[in-house]
Each structure stands twice: as structure tokens, then as C-alpha cells.
Amino acid sequence: MHGLPPSDDLIARALAEDLGVEAARFLGQMSADPAVLDADVTGAATVPVDAGFTGRIVAREEGVVCGLALVERTYQLLAAASAQPEVSCFPLVAEGADVSLGDAVLEIEGPVRLVLVGERTALNLLMQLSGIATEARRWQRAAGDALTVTDTRKTLPGLRALSKYAVRVGGATNHRVGLHDMVLIKDNHIAYSGGVTAAVEAARATQPGMQVECEADTIEQAVEAASAGADYVLLDNMDDATLAQAVVAVREAAGDRRCLTEASGRVTFERLLSLAATGVDRVSASALTLARPLDFGLDAT
């Protein structure tokens, strides 16, 4: 439903940096070798090779669960690389479920050394994505149905696709994925292109099939962007009173054509209700994808 993006490369790199081995080992590019588990020097010294593990991943705080499939995939790649029996993962809640402190979200059974080697990578992914999903849900619930909350391109390097997946799981909306899938004209583009109208018209001419959004620092720029044919006008760093005036002005300038408005800059959780009252269509905030991870732990049973 939410479209979990491919993640094998990321998981392989995470396992590799934890074990100090090549990422290629976890991508089927090297022969499987049980000795890969010996890179965990603590486990190799203290845990019997034939010991089994049964346990649960438990929420250490309230939030939204996101990334359960990544836990299972982490163990699949690790088992294949080390020629070990696969770890069995049994989700106890659905992806996107609200959980409370102490709730178990996943049962795990398998060789104890394998489980412990993959524990940190699996939990890191689950924690990072769940933190984003939790913040996304918190913001969209507070904003209400009339105001759409979107993310931004401010994501941890290499985690863009998974971060935006987590935003969707949380119930908020993705902005553009990157520089390639939507035109977003900002102040520097305007300065180098000769003005708002020139920038919008150039974007329309070179990318006729794409949506065009144009940043505006003033009501006058917002009206110009709408008049020039922008699909969205990004109203940047405006106070509530100015924002409300700009929203009205953009709709009047667009006439019968659909032109949506977006508030950006100084958008905080505490400001959501007052932003909704301005009539703006959506807000964008980096707080979603830069959210604090949600804490989970692996407990033996």
C-alpha cells in the first residue's frame, strides 16, 4: 500500500559497517561463509554456535511502527551470507500501527549468534523509520483534514526513499522526491533567470509534463507566479496575516485555473492551527524526516 522501496543495498552497507566486512558479501556477490559471524568478536567469544534464540522486539515508548519488513530482510541477507538457517520473524502488529510503551511488535526465532549480529542493524532501521512515521502522524493529526502536511528533501543521505516511505506510513504526504521529478523554482533560480515570470515560463517550456512550483517571498511575487502559470506557489517565511492575504491573492490571480499554495519556513508544530486558519493548502516541514528515532529493544523470552 505504501510502497516499501528497495533496501538491500542499504541493509548490506549497514551490516558491513557493523561487522567490518565487505557489503558485497550480503548481496550475493561473494560465497556464503559461516565465518562471517566471527567478525562479531563478542558473540564469537561468548555464545555457543548451536544455541537458539526466541524473543520479541518491544516498543520502549509510544509511537507508530514502521519498517517491520526491513527487520526480516536484514536477517534474510545475513543468513544467506553466513550459510545459516533463516531467522523467523512474526509481526505482531501491522505496519503503521500505533503502539504504547511495552507493546511487542515482532517475534523472532533463530540461531542466537545470527540474531545478535543482526540486532543493531535491524533495530536501527526500525527505530529511524518509526520515528519519522510517528512525527508525520502527529503533525497530520494536529493539522486536520483541511491542511496537508508534506515532507522536504532534508533527509539523512542515502535514506531519502525510506524516509519518505515512513512519512506515507505515518499519514502525511510526500513533497518531490528529488531534483528530477518536479520543478521547484527558488530565490536563486529567480535571480539567475531574470525574474519570476521568466523562470516559470522557462520551466513550462523545458518541462511541459511536470508540475511547477515557484517560491515567493512577497505577495507581489506570489501573484506574479500564479499569473505566470505555476501549479503551486510556495509562500516562504510569511507571518500568518501576510500568509492569509497571499493565499487570497494567489487564488484571485489564478482565476479558474487550479493553483495551490504552500507555506514553508518557520513552520512549527505549535503553529499548525494558525497556519490552517490562513486557508493555505499545505505546509512543508523538515521536522518529519529529521525526526528523533523511536526506541525499540530486543528482549529474549
Catalytic residues, by residue number, are: 120, 154, 186, 215, 236
Residue 70: partners with Cβ closer than 8 Å, 6 or more residues away:
4, 7, 11, 122, 125, 126, 129, 162
CA distance 26 to 16: 8
Alpha carbon dihedral 147, 68, 23, 174, in 10-degree steps, equals: -10
Q: On the CB side of 299, how many CA atoms lie within 13 Å of its CA?
A: 13
Q: List residues bridging with 210 in a β-sheet.
A: none
The dihedral sign for the CA sequence 232, 277, 96, 76 = positive
Q: What DSSP letter does each residue of 116-138 carry, written as one string?
A: HHHHHHHHHHHHHHHHHHHHHHH
Contact between residue 222 and residue 233 where contact means Cβ atoms under 8 Å apart: yes
Q: Which cell numbers in the block locate residue 231? A: 501549479
Residue 16: partners with Cβ closer than 8 Å, 6 or more residues away:
22, 23, 25, 26
**What SS3 class is residue 2?**
coil
Instruction: Select from 216, 260, 245, 8 the least CA-distant residue to 125.
Output: 8
